[in-house]
Structure 1
Amino acid sequence: MEALDNLVRIRRLKAEPPDAKEFAGMMRAAETKLRDASIDGLSADSQFSLAYGAAHALSLAALRWHGYRSESRYIVFQCLQHTVGLSNAKWRVLDKCHAARNLAEYEGHMDVNPQLLRELFDITRELKGLVEVLPPIKS
């Protein structure tokens, strides 16, 4: 993966062998968050936070499956085009969600756009399907 190796060279990613247990844990966390985000009666803020957490866990799982690690949430989303073939337009929606999450976390401003929330759910479900079909990590 030339693009990911370039990110290693400029120290935006670290090369690290994939770990099947870590991958499985990320997948479980993502599934739980995505399921919980769909609970009736949750506020839009809570749904957004849980769905965003699921999207991040799935994105990180895909990156780790390929043998890379990142400290940056933005880079994890950006790499989706290389790790699971997610379109640029879709990972850019996740980037918008990342910006909204940062506003909520660091500035206390959370105003969930209903359209963005729907797109987050749709993309996260698609991402789950793409990550689930990755072959098992060899020990």
Structure 2
Amino acid sequence: MGSNENLENLLRSGGLKLEPPDRKECEGLMRSASDRLMDAKTASLSFASRFDLAYNAAHAIALTNLRLQGYRSDKRYLVFQCLVHTSDVSKVHVRLFALCHERRNLAEYEGYLDEDEALLAQLLDSTGRLLIAVQQQMGEL
């Protein structure tokens, strides 16, 4: 998708940093994401474990996408927000990832996680779609 004004603004504000893509890093992130996504579908695991695995898979894929564009961010939420500028991911999916980020933070920092199986199903589906899109993008390089 390439650079655009929104990414340049984030670069100027310090939210993003320029860093050339590293194929080895991206392959490692995608391998980790694929494994986590597969494990997140294991019904015998607790909800908290499945959600954590799915969320972290989504983050790794979104980070890979950002890295492929030549950027890096230390802010987890920005990695998801940048998807609308770096890929064909819809704003609906980005909002889902943002909601899951908020839920992850509640669980991580406040010890509260609402067991929402419908949300987890949506996260698994959206993460699977993102995985395929970024795999295709990597294949084009």
Alignment TM class, shorter chain as reference: over 0.9
Partner SS state of residue 30, structure 2: helix
Q: Number of aligned pairs?
A: 138
Map of 1:65 onto structure 2: 68
Q: Deviations over 1:41-83 (max 9, x none)?
A: 1111111000000000000000000000001111000011112
Residue of 91, 100, 103 corresponding to 2:103: 100
1:135 and 1:25 map into 2 onto residues whose CA distance is 12
Q: CA deviation at 1:112?
A: 2.3
Alpha-carbon RMSD across the aligned residues, in angstroms, is 1.3
Q: Which runs of 4+ in 1 moved over 3 A?
A: 135-138
Partner SS state of residue 35, structure 1: helix
Q: CA deviation at 1:137?
A: 8.1
1:63 and 1:137 map into 2 onto residues whose CA distance is 15
Extract unaligned runs of 5+ from structure 1: none
Map of 1:82 onto structure 2: 85
TM-score (norm 1): 0.95
Aligned 8 A contact 1:81 1:91 in 2: yes
Extract unaligned runs of 5+ from structure 2: none
Q: CA deviation at 1:96?
A: 0.3
